[in-house]
Structure 1
């Protein structure tokens, strides 16, 4: 995955906003951009190029406005759908005769082929953007047009899966190999399309391949949300997704773990993280085990010891004994890089 970093830090104060405007216009699409805080404008973004997709994690510390006009569209149009996922702060957007203000975890989509205006009116803004060529989205353009500027939740349903996957890609970009890129691109396009289809109530319009590829992701998300439930079994998972248990097992056939083993691994991992959390040091081990679906403390202890080589209490003691007193992260100076 090719990564390039752009930031205003280090640019002379008088040139900061001009530099930012030039970067965004050249890399996204031509826009009129202005700010009342030219000399104190601060922003940073990373461009992650994933095949034909572009991912933009970034933050902005000052208000600004941008407009995409008919004249600029005629000048250049990448013909993309642009999804914005604010994680804090808010953005006002208007397109296709509709206006909306979106806050944290409220995604929205705009079409680069139509005029729009975006305003960041105050406070720091942090989020992730995604650009998808319209030719890769197997939904009628007139149908997608009904969703432009519409609020889509990043905390439930298909939107949560898309947002979670997008955020993990942004946070973890260095851990993927070049050979992973095509698979990641396919998954992201499928999740983007399935999210739009969900809000259009148009799931029947999706190609069978998209349904098939997104089903394992939906199942994993369901499992993560239900790990606390001791009754989480392959049968219950299959019933919740209207599939047979045998078909559920077939979806995991190419994975390293069976369905039951994957559930157990996820529960143990969550318990391990809680045991290593200094703020939860006084929480009894049996309560942490129960929090993640283990109803029998002895069975949890055996499973944990087998997985990590230490009993839960011994693991907690060792982790906290080895932890330094000052646990504040070390901050390194940021530099612009291309990888």
Structure 2
């Protein structure tokens, strides 16, 4: 972390973007003001990395107010997840206010104005989200940023529990476990966003059971033709009805098939018994045969190239 004292507060950067030593290039620059007195800013900050997610555990004794100050030269700021571990706080963005108690999380973006207030003796754990999850968050229907109701849902409670454990045990994970935990957080968050976008099929309507059969069919046949027409024909339903089943769950057929194929490829890349097979061969076995396209979508989903996943798996082992 680096702090630059100014008349209007303290510019802080390098707590998430640890690779940037220059204020002008850091994507995580914020203005921090102590709410009492003319004090400089001091805090204990412990950066960490969980695959495509950057994290920082922040502990401080001052009562502070935090606002974004992105540099025009820096990459566009992404979406953030903040969990209050101890103390009290609140976050305002997009006309909404979320009061934070220990164990509560909040979603927000550095690309628009926000105000985060943390009381004295606070501990705050923040994660910068991967590009795929941030894209889904940006496209989410309904209020997401500074939404105090998200932690109250079933998926929200699970997400808070996992992120809380991540904050407490970050130093205890090995390289591979860190990466997998980051993917778990992203997966639960994507589920939460789909859940928040709209309710799933009503229990007892038969739609949930139909969707379960379709999902199992897709998992068993990732190497086969999984176009909407082929899936619908195999289940004796119309393509329109198939799309409706997925739409009610906040997903699309194509996105789900692509994600499941990429997850299978990633699993195969980590399998020692398959280490002799090139990544493009594993991709072709799940219907993603074009090497350049496969590498691009794989990196977008997981934040690493297939080769890097294999290399880090060997290092973690």
TM-score, with normalisation over the residues of structure 2? 0.52
- Following superposition, the deviation at residue 197 of structure 1 comes to 2.4
Does the 8 A contact of 1:79 with 1:111 survive in 2?
yes
Which position in structure 1 is the counterpart of 2:187? 190
Which position in structure 2 is the counterpart of 1:85? 83
- Following superposition, the deviation at residue 164 of structure 1 comes to 1.7
- Following superposition, the deviation at residue 40 of structure 1 comes to 7.4
Residues 74 and 116 (structure 1), Cα distance of their counterparts in 2 relative to 1, 3 Å cut: farther
CA distance in 2, matches of 1:119, 1:44: 17
Which position in structure 1 is the counterpart of 2:12? 21
Residues 137 and 20 (structure 1), Cα distance of their counterparts in 2 relative to 1, 3 Å cut: closer
Write the mapping of 1:1-339 to structure 2, written as runs, cut at 5 A: 21-24=12-15, 29-35=28-34, 36-37=36-37, 39=39, 41-68=41-68, 72=70, 74-120=72-118, 122-137=119-134, 139=136, 141-143=138-140, 146-152=143-149, 154=151, 157-201=154-198, 203-205=249-251, 207-208=255-256
Does the 8 A contact of 2:88 with 2:101 survive in 1?
yes
Which position in structure 2 is the counterpart of 1:256? none
Residues 73 and 53 (structure 1), Cα distance of their counterparts in 2 relative to 1, 3 Å cut: same
- Following superposition, the deviation at residue 7 of structure 1 comes to 10
Tell me whether 30-39 or 181-190 shows the greater mean CA deviation.
Answer: 30-39
The count of corresponding residues between Structure 1 and Structure 2 is 200
Residues 126 and 7 (structure 1), Cα distance of their counterparts in 2 relative to 1, 3 Å cut: farther
- Following superposition, the deviation at residue 116 of structure 1 comes to 1.6
- Following superposition, the deviation at residue 52 of structure 1 comes to 1.8
SS in 1 for 2:111: coil
- CA displacement 1:63-104 (0-9 Å, x = unmatched): 1122225xx363434432111111232223222233333222
CA distance in 2, matches of 1:189, 1:210: 16
- Following superposition, the deviation at residue 39 of structure 1 comes to 4.5
Residues 153 and 114 (structure 1), Cα distance of their counterparts in 2 relative to 1, 3 Å cut: closer
Does the 8 A contact of 1:77 with 1:113 survive in 2?
no
CA distance in 2, matches of 1:19, 1:100: 24
CA distance in 2, matches of 1:22, 1:139: 26
Give 1 or 2 for the bigger CA radius of gyration: 1
Does the 8 A contact of 1:66 with 1:117 survive in 2?
yes
Residues 143 and 73 (structure 1), Cα distance of their counterparts in 2 relative to 1, 3 Å cut: farther
Q: Which structure has greater helix proportion?
A: 1
Unpaired segments of 5 or more residues in structure 2? 18-22, 200-248, 261-317
CA distance in 1, matches of 2:29, 2:142: 21
Does the 8 A contact of 2:43 with 2:59 survive in 1?
yes
- Following superposition, the deviation at residue 145 of structure 1 comes to 6.6
Residues 167 and 105 (structure 1), Cα distance of their counterparts in 2 relative to 1, 3 Å cut: closer
- Following superposition, the deviation at residue 151 of structure 1 comes to 1.1
CA distance in 2, matches of 1:73, 1:198: 34
CA distance in 2, matches of 1:169, 1:85: 11
Does the 8 A contact of 1:37 with 1:62 survive in 2?
no
CA distance in 2, matches of 1:210, 1:88: 39
SS in 2 for 1:147: coil
Unpaired segments of 5 or more residues in structure 1? 1-5, 9-13, 213-339
- Following superposition, the deviation at residue 149 of structure 1 comes to 0.7
Residues 106 and 146 (structure 1), Cα distance of their counterparts in 2 relative to 1, 3 Å cut: same
CA distance in 1, matches of 2:14, 2:43: 11
Computed over aligned residues only, the root mean square deviation of the Cα atoms, in angstroms, reads: 3.8
